[in-house]
Structure 1
Amino acid sequence: MEPTSLTVRYFAGARAAAGHREEVMPADRSLDDLTAELVRRHGDRLGAVLRVASFLVDGVTCHDRQAPLPAGATIDVLPPFAGG
């Protein structure tokens, strides 16, 4: 992975909606910017999942969706899971 990129990893329904397990995206963006780009790339099916998903940035829950994501970070997309 380049130091100017982010790795986005998809789990469960997010993986099915995106059509793959992970992808590399350019850095220098916020989580809101990233999710908007992912919807542009993959469509409304992924958009519906992203609206209810939780996001981990390098293993830590992201609470500020406008904060710049650190270059080289791994973003985990975690949709709600059945059973809690």
Structure 2
Amino acid sequence: MLTVRYFAGARAAAGGISTEVVEAANLDELTQVLSGRHGERLALVMKAASFLVDGLNCHDRRAALPAEATVDVLPPFAGG
């Protein structure tokens, strides 16, 4: 089981929740599961998001996720 934490626009797209528990083998599967739960708006955010897995940036969406990992969903941020 993974702990997923949503930030900024990802939190809004997930219906305002900040954390949930999900079972998924990799980020591609995680995206499918969460899109099924929360709909197309979150699916779009997940396509553009960056992910931290236990605090480390993860670029490979097919890499196996460690059991009990924390995955942070970070949408693109505006500003500067």
TM-score, structure 2 normalization: 0.93
Which position in structure 2 is the counterpart of 1:17?
A: 13
Percent of aligned pairs sharing the same letter:
68
* TM superposition shift of 1:48: 0.9
Residues 36-84 of structure 1, C-alpha deviations (whole Å, 9 max, x = no match): 1110111001011111110000011112111110011000000011125
CA RMSD of aligned residues (A): 1.0
Give 4+ residue runs of structure 1 displaced > 3 Å after superposition: none
Which position in structure 2 is the counterpart of 1:47?
A: 43
Amino acid at match of 1:67: A
Which position in structure 2 is the counterpart of 1:30?
A: 26
Unaligned runs of 5+ in 1: none
TM-score, structure 1 normalization: 0.89
Q: How many residues align?
A: 79
Unaligned runs of 5+ in 2: none
